[in-house]
Chain A
Amino acid sequence: MTRISFQTEFRHALADIERTAADLMRRQREVSSGRRLQAPSDDPTAAAGAVTEHAAIGALDRYAQAASSVEARLRLVDTVLGDIIEQLTQAQAVATGALGDTPTPAQREAAAMELAAIRDALFGDLNTSFRGVYVFAGTASTTAPFVRNADGTVSAYQGNSSTIAVDIDRGREAQVTFDGGALVQGGDPQDVFQIIETLRADVLAGDTPAIEQGIAALKRVFDRAVQLQSEVGADQKALETGAIRLTSEKLAARSRLSKLEDANMAEAISAMSRAETAYNAALGAAARLTRPSLMDYLK
């Protein structure tokens, strides 16, 4: 027969109180903080997983910021290219108006002046900068791609043919600066400013075959501008869909993180309630240590 000593009863009761109190405290912290993971030892796998998820969310946030910044730049580039296309269209119209023998010298003079205005507008467009970065200068983005010469004409392309791209997702990039030289000249012997200068002289001289050549050259610049604008448009579209994907990826990562770190409140409250019941039971059982004993019956 096992003898039950006072020390055994007391030690067991105390151990039960300590164990249930510790459990209750942990559950209470879980409910009050809303966090399941108080320390890595609560669930080491979840803790390591949480580190990875936080890193993933950090990277997604960065890509989202980069995509937002790229989107603003591309919107500007799109607008500028739209204006360039408009100017080129206008230049072709003005040159076409000067074809043949019909225009008077005064009209030719006016057309040449209008072409000069178009040249200046194109100069402004191609020297567009975004927060100090020239978007049509390739990687020479701190150098103005075109400068005005003393005689009012425009210099040759000052930038380079490399371009800057920014990562907007893992393995996805978007170009944010462009090769102005390829746009204004491409494979042609003259750039758009030289074409306009020549065209102006041809318009004043009434040299119809030369004007027609100039119009054809402008058309090639126009085609390249339209091509570039459609490429920029495609990138903008990709950014939109990319932004949606980044948002949904971030939501998924947040959801995974929440499962790892956050308490399921219904479950946590229920567990806390059970822990409280167990604690009360342990306290009650300990209080019964002062149960009636044979000592009470001694007179």
Chain B
Amino acid sequence: MSGLFGMLSVAARSLEAQRFGLDVVGQNIANVNTAGYSRRTVDFAALPPTSPLNAGGGVEVQGVRAIRDALLDRRLWQERPAAAMQGAIADALSIVEVALGDPGASLDAALTEFFDAWGRLSEDPTSTTARQQVILKGEALATSFADMTGRLTLAQRDTDTRIRGVVDQINALASEIASLNESIAKGVAMGTDVQVLRDRQGEAIKSLSELVAVDVIAREDGGYDVTFGLGRPLVIGASDFQITATPVGPSGLVTLSANGVDVGGEITSGVLGGLLQVRDTLIPGYISRLDEIAYAVATEVNTRHQAAFDANGAAGLAFFDPPAATAGAAAALAVNAVVAADPALVAAAATPDPGDNSAARDLAALRDSRVMFGGTATLHEAWGRLVYQAGTDTQVARQEERTRREIVMQVEALRDSVSGVSLDEEAAGLIRFQRAYEANARFFTTVDSVLQTLLTMVGR
């Protein structure tokens, strides 16, 4: 009699175990689209018999495991920063490319028109209109340089604004990871299920690794310590160490510091690394190249203009305001206000004779003179090299991003093959647990029937 009642207990435990299995399948299906969710699997164990006349105690649920591969998670956190960095560079530079304009319709067109004006003046050196045109085209060229510098500086500021946003995101994620570290440590100590917290933590580190390259070290209490740059702490246990973005100098661009140390130079990967490279290296490089061209325009034109004679037979003044230095020459380029106010002061003659046009011809011929980069390039070619440089930087970043993204996709696919939810697999699980539940229910009714038979016999 006691054996039959024991069998009823076995059937009841088994029904509960299969129901729990179905529950886990339901949880997996429910989270098929949850980012960072690792599939769960239920572990059953057979209970041993308690006496020689007992087949066994049935089944018990040992626990639920989240299927993860720490190595693949770690690999993913390592691969994402490089792809994200190249993507950030390419995105930021695509704005720079727009700023540079189309070939033949940008700064190069202004250069062409400026030299054309000198050419027209050489045809008619005494014409006031032609002199006025030289001044107007000189002013237009100066405006083109200033506008171009303005657009590049704006792109630099936009990148800086994005850097501030990314730093905020990094700090928020660091806080979240620290908070999760605390909850996980408590959960582990109390023996409660921390799998959901681990999923969220994995996802937070994944997001963080896109923004900045991080080193992740597992803690004994179940959490993670996170460092960046040259081992700068970002999260240690339940504490997070914020990165500070402080606007500095007249430019107002932010410098990044952690615990009072400038860390800008240490961040060389992730979205933040890419944005820093664009803001601090690439765009300043383009502006510097632009300054070199503007400096050459101003000094070369001025040298020729000052060696020439104006319409009054007097020695020519500087045509452009002489640049103080190469740096800032593009933004500062302007036609000398004295010359701009009086077309007669445009110097077209190589002699005091106002009818001479030699200087104007010489200035018009400057378009073909190799005055840039140690006499290896014309002004137009120097502009072409700047366009080439920006184009190549963008192209390389895009190609590099594609390659890196492909690697990330492969690693994610590997991670998913371990941790991801397969609906077919879950459907099979549904069948498995449903059938097992049905069989156990049948076992229960069979034992119940046997018990009824026995009770009927006793009742007689």
Contacts and interface: CB of A to CB of B under 8 A. Distances in A.
A256 interface: no
Interface in B359-407: 361, 364-365, 367-368, 378, 380-381, 383-385, 387-392, 394-395, 398, 405
B357 A44 contact: no
Interface in A248-299: 261, 293-295, 297-298
Most buried by B among A2, A5, A138, A139: A5
B97 A39 contact: yes
B175 interface: no
Contacts of B383: 51
A55 B423 contact: no
Given A8-B413, A40-B388, A52-B381, A166 B123 contact: yes
Interface residues of B, number: 70
Contact of A133 (B39, B109, B120, B126): B126
A31 B133 CA distance: 39
B56 to A, nearest CB: 31
Contacts of A183: none
A140 B355 CA distance: 5
Contacts of A65: 119-120
26 contacts: A5-B422, A7-B416, A8-B413, A8-B417, A8-B420, A40-B394, A41-B390, A41-B394, A42-B395, A47-B391, A48-B387, A51-B384, A52-B384, A54-B104, A54-B109, A55-B108, A57-B104, A58-B113, A132-B127, A133-B124, A139-B353, A139-B355, A140-B355, A141-B355, A293-B424, A294-B424
B391 A40 contact: yes
Contact of A139 (B356, B392, B398): B356
A45 interface: yes
Nearest to B430: A298
B391 A44 contact: yes
Contacts of A51: 103-104, 108, 380-381, 383-384, 387
SS class, residues of chain A in contact with chain B: helix
Contacts of B388: 40, 44-45, 47-48
Nearest to A160: B353
Contacts of B115: 58-59, 62
Contact of B103 (A12, A138, A160, A261): A261
B94 A55 contact: no
A204 B414 CA distance: 119
A12 B413 contact: yes
A7 B103 contact: no
SS class, residues of chain B in contact with chain A: helix
A166 B193 CA distance: 90
A114 interface: no
Interface in A89-143: 131-133, 137-142
Contacts of B405: 15
Nearest to B357: A164
Contact of B417 (A2, A57, A132, A141): A2
B35 to A, nearest CB: 9
B395 to A, nearest CB: 4
A246 to B, nearest CB: 14
B116 A58 contact: yes
Interface in A7-23: 7-8, 11-12, 15
A48 B367 contact: no
Contacts of B416: 3, 5, 7-8, 11
A5 B29 CA distance: 11
A259 B162 CA distance: 38
A140 B422 contact: no
Nearest to A134: B355
A31 B455 CA distance: 89
Contact of A41 (B94, B109, B431): B94
B72 interface: no
Contacts of B116: 58, 61-62
B346 to A, nearest CB: 15
Contacts of A132: 126-127
Given A3-B417, A41-B394, A141-B355, A66 B123 contact: yes
